[in-house]
Structures are given as C-alpha cells and as structure tokens.
Amino acid sequence: MDARQRLIETTRELLHERGYVGTSPRAVQERAGVGQGSMYHHFAGKADLARTALERTAALERERAEALLGDASVPPADRVVAYLRRERDALRGCPVGRHTQDPDVLADDGLRSPVEQTFAWLRQRIAGLLAQAQQEGSLRAEADPAAVAAAVAAVVQGGYVLARAAASPEPAAAAADGAVAMLEALRTPPRAPHRA
C-alpha cells in the first residue's frame, strides 16, 4: 500500500474509533507511518483527508450491500432479506451510520455528503427491488416500496444502536428478524395452478 492509501485506510479506522475531532493529523501520521510532508503532499488538510476516507468507507459499504442486492439469481424480495440477515459487527456499529452521530461530520457538507448519499442509494436500491417484486406479483400491490425501503434501512441502523446500548448483538438480530417478518407479511400468497 502506498503512502496515500495508508493515510486513507488509517483515517477510516480512526474516524470509526474516535470520530472527527479525535482523529488528529498527528495520530493519522503515526499510525500510518507517514510523515507530515507526505500527508500534505497528498491532501490539502485534515478535512480533505477525512472526506476522502469517508468516501472510501461509503463506497466499500455500497459494494458489500450490492453483492447481495445485485444478485440476479435470487428473487428481488429475497435479496432484501439477505441484506437484512447479512452478518454484521453490531457492537462496533455501522461504518457509515456511526458518522451521523458526529456533529463535526454533520456540520460540514463535504464530510456529510458521502454518508447522506450512501443511505439515499440504499433506500433507492431496496425500493427498486421491492417495486420489481410487485411487478412480478410476489409482493402485495398496496405496499409502498419507498416506505418499506426506508423502514429496512432504519431497522438495520437502529439495530446497531440497540446492540451497542445493550452490549449485545441480540437486539440487532431481533430487529432484523422483525423486518424479515414484515417483508414476509407483504408477500402475496402463492398462486394456485390454473385449471382449465
């Protein structure tokens, strides 16, 4: 890994562990084993480095989600279930969602943007799959794909919060189970074979 990549990866780790204020340029340089001159050669300053690190974190999380949501061999609603059931480190918190609790990230549009865009993408991606399931007749027509997608995203993020508050992954798993039950309730009953 070159110096630029080490700086980005180290900043990603520190932002997740300490937040924006706790991620000092000196801490980044020490952990990455990179000098101050190299850091400022690649980045204009702390905010530029943090924005790049947050963009990388957001891109990785979208890739992880898309690996499940984009699997065309699986029916659309089942892909959403797979996303809900994906293994997560609930006690560590969401690599993207944790930044919504950092006032310094929220106060800076450049830092907040990757977080906002990731959740907008996720809701849109899930809503598209649910709309596809409706078109295929496997999801009830009265279900609002955008509202259900927002609920799915909220359950996952809320699961992290509940797990961290309880110091146990169990509440996150229970929240995912509840969301899966909600989706199952929205499925259409299997159609009986047509008889002539």
pTM over 0.75: yes
pLDDT at 190: 58
Give which of 146, 152, 153 is closest to 131, Cα–Cα: 146
pLDDT at 73: 97
Give which of 93, 71, 63, 60 is closest to 169, Cα–Cα: 93
pLDDT at 196: 52
Give which of 65, 116, 54 is closest to 88, Cα–Cα: 65
Q: Please write down the long-range contacts of 124-127, taking CB distance under 8 Å and 24 or more positions apart.
A: 124/149, 125/65, 125/66, 125/69, 125/149, 126/69, 126/80, 126/83, 126/152, 126/153
Q: Which parts of the chain have pLDDT scores under 50? A: none
Q: Which domains does the chain show, CATH number per domain?
A: 55-186 (1.10.357.10)
pLDDT at 148: 98
pLDDT at 189: 79
pLDDT tens per residue across span 174-191:
999 999 999 999 999 755
pLDDT at 194: 56
pLDDT at 59: 97
